[in-house]
Chain A
Amino acid sequence: MAYFRSHVLVSVDPVCVEKGAYKLIDALQDELVKQGLVDEVQVLETSRIGDPETEGIDLMVYPEAVHYTNLTLDDVPYLVEEHFLKGRVAERYIRESEAFTDEELSAPQSKEVRIVLKNIGEIDPLNIEEYIARDGYMALGRVLTEMSPEDTIQEVLKSGLRGRGGAGFPTGLKWRFIRNADGDEKYMICNADEGDPGAFANRRVLEGDPHSVIEGMIIAAYAAGSNKGYIYCRAEYPIAVRTMKTAIEQARNFGLLGDDILGSGFSFELEVRMGAGAFVCGEETALMASIEGKRGEPRPRPPFPAQKGLWEEPSNINNVETYANVPQIILNGADWFADLGYKKSTGTKTFSMAGDVINTGLIEVPFGITLREIIFDVGGGIKEDKKFKAVQTGGPMGGCLPEAFLDLPMDYEALAEAGSILGSGGLVVMDEDTCMVDIARFFMEFTQDESCGKCTPCRVGTRRILEILTGICEGKGKPEDIDTLRNLCDQINENSLCGLGKGAPNPVKSTLEHFLDEYEAHIYEKRCPAKVCKSLIRFEIIDGLCTGCTLCARNCPVDAITGERRQTHVIDPDICIKCGICEQICPYDAIEIK
């Protein structure tokens, strides 16, 4: 068999053929013959590369993965000479870098192991054939032809896969409950209501690799004995919804969904249901209520969804990421997955980094990596060289962890012990200029707003906490507030109906524990150490530094600054709204926040 050192892939879609793609291929072949390279370089046809708007043809050269654009017949001799004889990239034909940079997902950093994020950015999510080309649906094939439902459950149990939505329940076990439950119709539900501010891993998977989720769901359905599934996707992700719907249709056209999948006798129908803007619908019972056309209010458990879920039938709910792991577990084996990770947390987890860190975006790492490694190695450290102050893990129900916890290995148990949660994998990094009381208030504002209102501890409790925190930030804090807050936190945590209520106090609790000094400064000294809380700060222009350039006065939205040209300017504290624009704009750093 001939061994070629280089492959040239020429685009031969109809548009390119029209432009003369085949003539180009012939010209390339002729030139290769002329240069004596025809046994070393192979020319192949491929589907469209590049922009159909250009006049010339595009081609790719492997293994270097160089993309040459807009080529005509006249370019061939030079191209062949430069690239294949001299071994140099022919710069003049390189596609101009309007190269698309993915701000959310860069190339894998060291320490990353990409399972769930493997295909994102590498395949066209709207083309099922590209997923299949990367071993897509092979796992399903194996499951349906070689494994029984119980075998499948066993394999997933062995892998140690735990719910990636945050609760960490063993996935195989959940499926077994469904299998053993009584019901006329069993439902598989995918929780794609990724509402945690700061988390967008699910979104990328749904948009970039929808079939991994579909395949995972079909396998799960087979194991659990279900024939109908729903993907509940939040309405704030319209692209994900569209992509998923297209993917489902393509899967159906390929006989991978619907009746008698791959001739196995197993049938499974899948449908997308959209949310409508309610964070609480990420909670499983609220989610099911929403699918049923009701207000997204949770209900008490038991009965658990596995016994009585959607329309009172046994229902399995798993997160997007949980399902997305399944095909590769089947393909590579449970042991492969179990070997990754740390203690009882096997496999990998995606983390979304947001906030004051240099590399915001997604990563996927095996459990056991430390917070320090994530934030400083992979994340590149804090922006503008500021000091790290705290990181909030797991979404708005997570705790804020200070520097002392940076060497914590990330896994379900360690984070819970530290007073936080793994949750969705969201990480909000905060620098020294963050006021922790303001942050606690901020998260409570969110949770309070999203509280469904059904149970009193959450509905009223979060409001009370918010009132107190707002008061503290406005300089009206009282000494007894701290105990009241602690009391409220415990009450809400112990008595709320669902996870939202139970977790809502965590930011407050953790900041009270680790940043008590900031609360005390606000309450006793009416001072905000981080200089954030508007009622407790004053913007002042420093006499010695101000040059009277008038830049601040011109940009002040409320005209609070007065001064003659070349004279020191003055901010009127009664008019000033403390927006911070003047301080940011001043070229002489002459404005101080006191």
Chain B
Amino acid sequence: MHGTFNTMQIMDRTGHTSITWDPDKAVEVGVARDTFDKLIKEGYRAFKVEGQDNQGERMTAFDSKAGKIMMVPHLVGG
């Protein structure tokens, strides 16, 4: 995944916010990592996803080479 852009899509009040980074660029990775950690603290769940049928897995730590990360907001029962 070196040299290619990775994406984090954050579901929020704007519809979604996308953050992209190049894993070879430390500054971009740092921004993505900080955002990831902040959202996890807020209650978001992170998932590494692949394809439209959402094959993937839950992430508990940031991975700069994850490819595509979906940040799911905290859910509650209704």
Partners in one complex: no
Q: What is B's interface to A at a CB cutoff of 8 Å?
A: none
